[in-house]
Amino acid sequence: METHFVRLTVNGKEYQAEVEARKLLVHFLRDDLNITSTNIGCDTSQCGACTIELDGKSSKACTMLAVQAHGRDIRTTATTDDPILNSLKQSFQADHALQCGYCTPGMVMRSRELLAQNPTPTEDEIRDALHGNICRCTGYHNIVKAVSNAAASLQKKEDAA
């Protein structure tokens, strides 16, 4: 079995490991590093459940190999010190934006990137940003509302500062 040395940062912590060349990043995170704050839905880049942030850009962790993450900085919903993520987590809960919750980590991570780039997105912009993330339960309405409310709450804090 061919393996490669990988060093990467996940949620601010550095990890080093020998990784099988063909292992997907999402499997590496969950099975080798025990970081289960990203889900596996389809394994074929359709559903978005595995969305993480890679060097600040949302990416589907089932679309790349673990070895490709060497030297990269990864963020998942387990990050606790990010104001945008914290605001999104609060809004998803308050606005009942999840039922089974399977899609939620991916929705939140994709939304984080959106709000980092566009702090005041319209409903259409939110729906457009989330078009690669599938939810089988909610009908999307409350997800869009949660992202919009998270944006408003962040804006309010900024105005008050």
Binding site for ligand FES (CB under 6 A): 40-43, 45-50, 60, 62, 98-103, 135-138
Closer Cβ to ligand FES, 30 or 149, answer by number:
30
In the complex, minimum distance from the CB of residue 132 to ligand FES, in angstroms, rounded to a whole number: 8
- Going by the DSSP 8-state scheme, the letter that residue 59 receives in this structure is E
Cα(119)–Cα(138) distance, rounded to whole angstroms? Answer: 24
Which is closer to ligand FES, CB of 6 or CB of 30?
Answer: 30
Q: Report in angstroms how near the CB of residue 121 gets to ligand FES at its nearest.
A: 20
Residue 83: both structure tokens together: 């104001």
Torsion-angle region of 116 (φ positive above 0: left; ψ -120 to 50: alpha; else: beta): alpha
| Max intra-chain CA distance, the chain | 57
Token pair for 120: 């005041």
Q: How far is the CB of 28 from ligand FES (least distance, A)?
A: 13
Query: Would you say 24 or 151 has its CB closer to ligand FES?
Result: 24
